Amino acid sequence: MSAPASVFSQSFFHGTRADLEPGSLIVVGHQSNFTDAEPLSWVYFASTLDAAIWGAELAAGQSPERIYVVEPTGSIEDDPNLTDKKFPGNPTLSYRSRDPLRIIAEVTKWQGHAPELLQQMKDGLARMKADGTAHIID
């Protein structure tokens, strides 16, 4: 008789415009895609592909949008920027860590959000920057 599984697997994703390879590490110390604040002391990621798609679509720069499957190398916690401010209970399954994320693979087939929805999100972020509420709890 086999014993029940005691460990389960969970996928994590990171959306960006950075061109990285499997095995590379995503580390703290980079500027946020959403504010002009100091470099962040956390790396952010999610367990839903939709949240990672937002990250890739809203990332600064002109490079192609990319989504990576990542593996945390240390402890993780809920992302308070979403779970406390916008979505109590963490339905977006968004997390952060001070430890690096190891890239396992790139997700190459995914569908972005509708252009109108993406523009609404960009307009909302621009309003937050303009009125000074685009603060990241770091």
* Strand-pair category, 77-78 with 25-26: unpaired
| Predicted pLDDT at 49 | 94
| Predicted pLDDT at 129 | 80
Average pLDDT over residues 117-124: 91
| Predicted pLDDT at 38 | 74
Instruction: Give the CATH architecture of domain 12-130.
Output: Alpha-Beta Barrel (3.20)
Q: Taking the domains of the chain in order of start, what are their residue ranges?
A: 12-130
